[in-house]
Chain A
Amino acid sequence: VISLTMLWAQTPSLSEYFKTVVLRWLLVFGEPSITENHWYGGPITWAKVVGLFSLLGWVASRLIAASKAPGQPRAKALDLAALSALGGAFLCALLQVLVQTGRLKLGKAGPINLIDALALICGAVLFLWVEFRLWTGLRRLGHRGDLVLLGAMHVALVAGVAVTLALRAVEPERFGQVRWTEGLRIGATYMGLVVLVWVFASVAGEILAIRPRRLYAIAWQAWIESFRRMGAPWVVLVIFGLILLFFDWFVSSRTAEMGRSYVGSLMFLAAILMMLMIMILAPISLPNDIRQQTIYTVVSKPVRRLELIWGRMIGYMALVTLLLAIFGGVSLAYLDRNIGGEIQRTEAAAEKAEKQARPDAARQLREQANQLRTRMSARVPVKGSLIFFDSKGIQRQKGIDVGSEMEFRSHVEGASPSKAVWRFGVVDDPLDFRLPEPKRRLIDRRIPVEDLLQPGTIEYIQNEIAELRYQGMQAQAKQQAGGMTGKEVTSQGAVASRAKAQIDDLDKELKLLQEKEKRFVARSREAKDPAEAKAQLTEARKLHSRQIPIEMTFSVYRTTKGEIGRLVTASLIATSPRPDITPYTDVFDVHEYYTDKRFLPASLLVGSRGHLRIEIQCMSPNQYLGMSESDLFLLSSQGGYQTNFVKGLIGVWLQAMVLTAVGVFAGTFLSWPVAFLTTIFFGLAGYVGIGHLQSFALKLVQGGGPFESLIRMLGHDNLQSELAPTVAVVAAKTCDMVVSPVLERLVYLVPNFSALDVSNTVADGFAVRLDQVLIHILTGLGYALPFSIAGYFILKNREVAA
């Protein structure tokens, strides 16, 4: 294989293709920590991780099967060697810790480190033991398919090493330092992929054999059972009702934030209750069936094992769907009553305060009501790309740091040329500093102009005309550039003339509208009745597109108190890329922690092709305005919160689905108390512990692994200082070294429930986008499918009705 790759690499065009395409893909599929920056990047990583777990599962299951097989050859010496290799691995960890803590000094035997050599030997012995047990066991068991698979896996392992060597040979500047042992890792990933393919192949038949009738029967059984078992759904409903009755005791907030805390808490409540119900129902069902031997009746019928699992999941999920529908309906009614009423009450209070000459109170009440209204909606933002200019006018990635603990906002200085600029359109990525400026990565932040201008209005038609002109110019430029065939020239000419005809039509339409507007304006001037004049002006305004709402939430940092009671002011300049359109300027007071809403004239977008530049400056001297990229956006639409809330519940549904899969999976091979605890562990770890697991996997946790941390806790030690290498500390560190790799891998196994959660988006008043929902569904399936299929394999190989 190696010589073959070398041969390829020598022919120039082939070698180029090999280098850029084949090797790159082989690397992407082989190295677990690398993936492509595309939509398919996630699924590739998923396949690699699931593949590795499948490999582990397969090897373990075959070793167990082999050990149980009759006539197992006695190879006491080899078993002993494997056992001592395990001990040797532990010894390696101990030596490593001793060297690290400075208790032991080990010389190098030539180029090879002693510990590395020992580790290598131990690994080799263990590997040989597994090889021996697998080959002999599988041959004895007589599974030809397994033997073929084992052979394929070995080919994959060699391929991994070959790919590494090829990489070293082809791109020495990038991969010259990579050791061939890295190839084993890539090989292991390939082995995982091979097992994964085998898994798919073996499950495919089972999936094809699934019949909806049987699935339905199992699901129905799960449904009935869950009502019988402690009446779990009723209990959940009653608890939900009870908590809702006394919701005010636990959730109270200022008016402005009321929507956020109510929506967030209601979703949290729904999620927690669903999780609790699933934790109790899902893991207990199968073990109970097995224990009470009711499974006999089921498996004696022609029911597939996968149907047993998926049927149960469908039954529970039907229950979850029903309960979530009830929760959602009740929650929406509750929100409507409470929040809707609160907005009206606050606005009435603001009016009253205005009448009583209490200007501060009136302004604040109005702000609060507006904020609540903003939160209780589904906003679709159009975000730009933010860059800063400092007080000397030099472009910066970030503004001024005022020393706030929260770092994501940086500041612009008041009454200076310092400014923050949001650019819309196809712009260079300000965060990409890897390449020289002209080659920076481009990001697409174009404004969907068509969505923001209303068809049939003056601006819409103007925009269409500009667009057609642009197309015409493009065709012309192409023609001038030459190099086209005669046919292409004619087709381009046709495009240009068609565009011209369209422009003429639109021009006429535009003129009609403009004349109409003039008539309305003239009539409003002539009208004696002010109401009539206003009505005419309203008619005239209807001919135009609506203004473009722009929302901002800036923070204020004061270096002096300034004039007491006076807010910091900011200026806004919105510039179209077209030089013939006058920039729009505006000055406004900044209300910290509230949403400042301003409006841009629709004419700014005419012919902009989605490009726009918005500059914000702080006007008040000695004061600073803090902002981050998401602090300013155009509002493309603002829907009601109801649909959004329902979309948010999909997140809860997906969480419940994943936990159901985990619960049923645990039930396939554990007794019910252990399965129950396992599900609780996964639920808690996925909900509460996932952040910690992630930082543990990224080695961001200070203070060492669990054992070292325990010593630090007991000794009231801090996280940073190095512990004295006492016997206890060395022992703890050694244990950590053994346990940590397992813990670090847990992050792949424990479902990340927060990745499925969209309640914050809903509570903040932003619309949950469809693509977001799809990604969440995919993620949910990415967890649920492997768990349920693992359950299927276990159930298949287990004698449930022994």
Chain B
Amino acid sequence: MNPTPVTAKNRQIYYAVGMLILFVSMFLYSIPLNALKRKNQLGEATLGQVDTGSFVLKLLMIGGFRGMAANVLWSQAIDLQKVHEWDRLAQKVDMITRLQPHFLSIWTFQGWNLAYNVSVEWDAPEDKYEWIKKGIVFLKNGVVKNDRSPDLLWDVAWTYYHKYGFADEAIVLRRVFRDDDDEAFKTNPKDGVVQHDNFLLGRGWFTKAVELVDDGARRLREGVRTDLEYVDKPTQHKGRSDDIAFRSMPAHAQTRYALSLEKQSIRDVPATFGEVAREEWRRALGLWLDFGHYPWPAWSKRTEMVELDDLTEPAKLATLSKDQSFWADRWGHQMNYPYWKARCQAEMTKEGTDARKLFYEGTIALNSEADFLKAVSKYREGLEVWDKLLNRFPTYRADDLNQKDTGMILKRYFKALRQAGLTRPKDTPFPELHKLVEMDLNPDPYDALDMLPQKSARPEGAPDAPR
């Protein structure tokens, strides 16, 4: 094992030349490769922010090992979920995203998994809140690394909007959200303002997703590589030309915000009426009109454009072609557009907010103050205003969602009458609606006045309300 110095030197030269050849050929090869990456929007920098930790990990798992490691981590994550090791699950999932940061399904699936499946396993609402937040933060990380994907933006928005706003514990979760002092989490991506309501955050993220689609961003654009046979064909769900529901979400979020203002939808936070509420309803109407005037290609004839709002304008509808009017009618009703538009128009009036305020005060008198006569008079007054208002908005009046809603108010009114020992007056408005909800014993899950036992309504000596 004693090579002579000459051969050693020769060998070193061979190595150096070999390295040089490899380096040059790699460099030459990378030129067309980079061009291809740019063309198909597949470069690191074009996909989103480059993460150093992720880069290091990928470097360690040279090439093909990455997929194997991700597989192992994924099955470990599933096992951890089975044994309720939530924190370790979150860590494992984080590891996977570091290995495959541009694989959208991981972000979508695990973000949903954390926010929906893991949070439900925790008993206390504030713990649920934290896991939903973890899910949202996870999805937002995905957005940072894949900033051209409307899917992920939409998932973020949906989790803010739906998981906080429509959970059984929504009134508590929204309170914890309101109290959360994490400003980064509550900053609206649209205007950079810190907001204390999850529906507003939802609106901001939904709007951003829609704008991204309008911007033409579809990373996994269909038809980029038609010649490829995919094992799992990547599909772009959100923002497809026929995905109408996607575009309606900003308006939905804003509407939800406006109607949540007018009840105690956040525990121990009083409702808001007057000009503030009217302004929010006005904004909601604006968003619905934006949605209604967006031109969609008719399904049967792609060259003819359809606007959903035409459904609410009979005069214009009559002038449209057969395809246009058919699809305006079909899609308009599919989205229940006439209801939402009419609702915003009705609720944004002074009578609208006045009636809601009277209903709210009636409920407080009934459930908290146990002042039944006051409740009766508030409900009565409110129903009269409501009746007059709805006469101006026949679509809204006839809609069954509204009928059920109004029926519930009637039910409370009748309960107040019963408690006050009064009989039902003959001239009560909407007499027929009570029947609709008579058998429905469920409280309104998004109204703390209805959902939670009220402190003053408890008998002396009863245990205090929880925390």
Q: Is the interface of A mostly helix, strand, loop or mixed?
A: loop
> Is A252 touching B94 in the complex (CB atoms < 8 A)?
yes
8 Å CB contacts to B: which residues of A540-579?
555-556, 558, 561, 563-568
| Shortest Cβ gap from A506 to chain B (Å) | 44
> Is A567 touching B87 in the complex (CB atoms < 8 A)?
no
| Shortest Cβ gap from B56 to chain A (Å) | 8
Chain A residue numbers with a CB within 8 Å of B124 are 364, 567, 591-592
| B70-105 contact mask (Cβ, 8 Å, vs A): 1 or 0 | 000000000000111011101100110000000000
| Shortest Cβ gap from B396 to chain A (Å) | 30
Q: A253, A254, A261, A360: which contacts B125 (Cβ < 8 A)? A: A360
A251 to B90, CA, bound (A): 10
Q: Is A593's beta carbon under 8 Å from chain B?
A: yes
> Is B123 touching A364 in the complex (CB atoms < 8 A)?
no
Q: Is B467's beta carbon under 8 Å from chain A?
A: yes
Q: B91, B122, B467: which contacts A593 (Cβ < 8 A)? A: B122
> Is B123 touching A565 in the complex (CB atoms < 8 A)?
no
Q: Is B222's beta carbon under 8 Å from chain A?
A: no
Q: B52, B86, B452: which contacts A565 (Cβ < 8 A)? A: B452
Q: Is the interface of B mostly helix, strand, loop or mixed?
A: helix
A363 to B172, CA, bound (A): 14
> Is A564 touching B172 in the complex (CB atoms < 8 A)?
yes
Chain A residue numbers with a CB within 8 Å of B176 are 360-361
* Nearest B-chain residue to A623, judged by Cβ: B123
| Shortest Cβ gap from B301 to chain A (Å) | 44
A555 to B123, CA, bound (A): 8
A492 to B189, CA, bound (A): 87
Q: Is B219's beta carbon under 8 Å from chain A?
A: no
* Nearest B-chain residue to A359, judged by Cβ: B467
Q: Is B180's beta carbon under 8 Å from chain A?
A: yes
Chain A residue numbers with a CB within 8 Å of B83 are 406
Query: Which of A353, A358, A360, A363 counts the most chain B CB atoms within 10 A?
Result: A360
| B207-225 contact mask (Cβ, 8 Å, vs A): 1 or 0 | 0000000000000000000
Query: Which of A406, A565, A568, A593 counts the most chain B CB atoms within 10 A?
Result: A565
| Shortest Cβ gap from A719 to chain B (Å) | 14
| Shortest Cβ gap from B442 to chain A (Å) | 11
| A726-754 contact mask (Cβ, 8 Å, vs B): 1 or 0 | 00000000000000000000000000000
> Is A565 touching B172 in the complex (CB atoms < 8 A)?
yes
Q: Is A257's beta carbon under 8 Å from chain B?
A: yes
Chain A residue numbers with a CB within 8 Å of B1 are 292
| Shortest Cβ gap from A764 to chain B (Å) | 12
Q: Is A405's beta carbon under 8 Å from chain B?
A: yes
Q: Is A260's beta carbon under 8 Å from chain B?
A: yes
| Shortest Cβ gap from B241 to chain A (Å) | 36
> Is A253 touching B123 in the complex (CB atoms < 8 A)?
no
Q: Is A40's beta carbon under 8 Å from chain B?
A: no
8 Å CB contacts to A: which residues of B396-455?
451-453
Q: Is A250's beta carbon under 8 Å from chain B?
A: yes
* Nearest B-chain residue to A555, judged by Cβ: B84
| Shortest Cβ gap from B450 to chain A (Å) | 11
> Is A563 touching B466 in the complex (CB atoms < 8 A)?
yes
Q: Is A249's beta carbon under 8 Å from chain B?
A: yes
Chain A residue numbers with a CB within 8 Å of B123 are 556, 558, 567-568, 590-593
Q: Is B323's beta carbon under 8 Å from chain A?
A: no
| Shortest Cβ gap from A221 to chain B (Å) | 21
> Is A261 touching B87 in the complex (CB atoms < 8 A)?
yes
Q: Is A39's beta carbon under 8 Å from chain B?
A: no
| Shortest Cβ gap from A265 to chain B (Å) | 9
A163 to B86, CA, bound (A): 54
> Is B126 touching A251 in the complex (CB atoms < 8 A)?
no
Chain B residue numbers with a CB within 8 Å of A353 are 179
| A49-61 contact mask (Cβ, 8 Å, vs B): 1 or 0 | 0000000000000
| Shortest Cβ gap from B83 to chain A (Å) | 5
| B371-405 contact mask (Cβ, 8 Å, vs A): 1 or 0 | 00000000000000000000000000000000000
| Shortest Cβ gap from B368 to chain A (Å) | 16
Chain B residue numbers with a CB within 8 Å of A252 are 91, 94
Chain B residue numbers with a CB within 8 Å of A250 are 53, 95
| Shortest Cβ gap from A761 to chain B (Å) | 16
Q: Is B200's beta carbon under 8 Å from chain A?
A: no
A564 to B82, CA, bound (A): 26
Given the contacts A358-B179, A406-B83, A567 and B466 also touching, CB distance less than 8 Å: yes
| Shortest Cβ gap from B209 to chain A (Å) | 27
Q: Is B171's beta carbon under 8 Å from chain A?
A: yes
Q: Is B163's beta carbon under 8 Å from chain A?
A: no
A261 to B172, CA, bound (A): 30
Count A interface residues, CB 8 Å: 36
Given the contacts A249-B52, A563-B452, A565-B169, A360 and B126 also touching, CB distance less than 8 Å: yes
Q: Is B351's beta carbon under 8 Å from chain A?
A: no
Chain A residue numbers with a CB within 8 Å of B169 are 561, 564-565
> Is A564 touching B179 in the complex (CB atoms < 8 A)?
no
> Is A406 touching B84 in the complex (CB atoms < 8 A)?
yes
Q: B94, B172, B453: which contacts A360 (Cβ < 8 A)? A: B172
> Is B127 touching A249 in the complex (CB atoms < 8 A)?
no
Chain B residue numbers with a CB within 8 Å of A249 are 52-53, 56
Chain B residue numbers with a CB within 8 Å of A567 are 123-124, 466
| Shortest Cβ gap from B238 to chain A (Å) | 29
| Shortest Cβ gap from A410 to chain B (Å) | 15
Query: Which of B83, B127, B169 counts the most chain A CB atoms within 10 A?
Result: B127
> Is B91 touching A253 in the complex (CB atoms < 8 A)?
yes
Given the contacts A253-B91, A564-B452, A361 and B168 also touching, CB distance less than 8 Å: no
| Shortest Cβ gap from B154 to chain A (Å) | 26
A558 to B467, CA, bound (A): 20
8 Å CB contacts to A: which residues of B130-154?
130
> Is B467 touching A363 in the complex (CB atoms < 8 A)?
yes
| B325-362 contact mask (Cβ, 8 Å, vs A): 1 or 0 | 00000000000000000000000000000000000000
A590 to B466, CA, bound (A): 13
> Is A564 touching B451 in the complex (CB atoms < 8 A)?
yes
Chain B residue numbers with a CB within 8 Å of A556 are 123
8 Å CB contacts to B: which residues of A557-611?
558, 561, 563-568, 590-593
Q: A256, A261, A406, A590: which contacts B88 (Cβ < 8 A)? A: A261
A246 to B168, CA, bound (A): 40
Q: A260, A564, A590: which contacts B87 (Cβ < 8 A)? A: A260
| B166-202 contact mask (Cβ, 8 Å, vs A): 1 or 0 | 0011011001100110000000000000000000000
Q: B95, B171, B180: which contacts A564 (Cβ < 8 A)? A: B171
Q: Is B267's beta carbon under 8 Å from chain A?
A: yes
Chain A residue numbers with a CB within 8 Å of B175 are 360
| Shortest Cβ gap from A261 to chain B (Å) | 6
> Is B53 touching A406 in the complex (CB atoms < 8 A)?
no
| Shortest Cβ gap from B57 to chain A (Å) | 8
Given the contacts A249-B52, A360-B176, A360-B179, A565 and B125 also touching, CB distance less than 8 Å: yes
> Is A561 touching B179 in the complex (CB atoms < 8 A)?
no
> Is A361 touching B452 in the complex (CB atoms < 8 A)?
no
Chain B residue numbers with a CB within 8 Å of A565 are 125, 169, 172, 267, 452, 466-467
| Shortest Cβ gap from A315 to chain B (Å) | 25
* Nearest B-chain residue to A404, judged by Cβ: B84
8 Å CB contacts to B: which residues of A233-249?
246, 249
12 A-B residue pairings within 8 Å (CB atoms): A250-B95, A254-B87, A361-B179, A363-B467, A364-B127, A406-B82, A558-B123, A561-B168, A561-B169, A564-B125, A565-B452, A567-B124
* Given pairs A246-B53, A254-B87, A360-B175, 6 additional interface contacts (CB within 8 A): A249-B52, A252-B91, A254-B130, A261-B88, A360-B172, A561-B168
Q: B interface vs A, CB < 8 Å?
A: 1, 52-53, 56, 82-84, 86-88, 90-91, 94-95, 122-127, 129-130, 168-169, 171-172, 175-176, 179-180, 267, 451-453, 466-467
Nearest first, the 10 closest Cβ-Cβ pairs linking A and B are A249-B53, A592-B123, A257-B87, A358-B179, A566-B466, A360-B126, A556-B123, A364-B126, A565-B172, A405-B82
Q: A interface vs B, CB < 8 Å?
A: 246, 249-254, 256-257, 260-261, 292, 353, 356, 358-361, 363-364, 405-406, 555-556, 558, 561, 563-568, 590-593
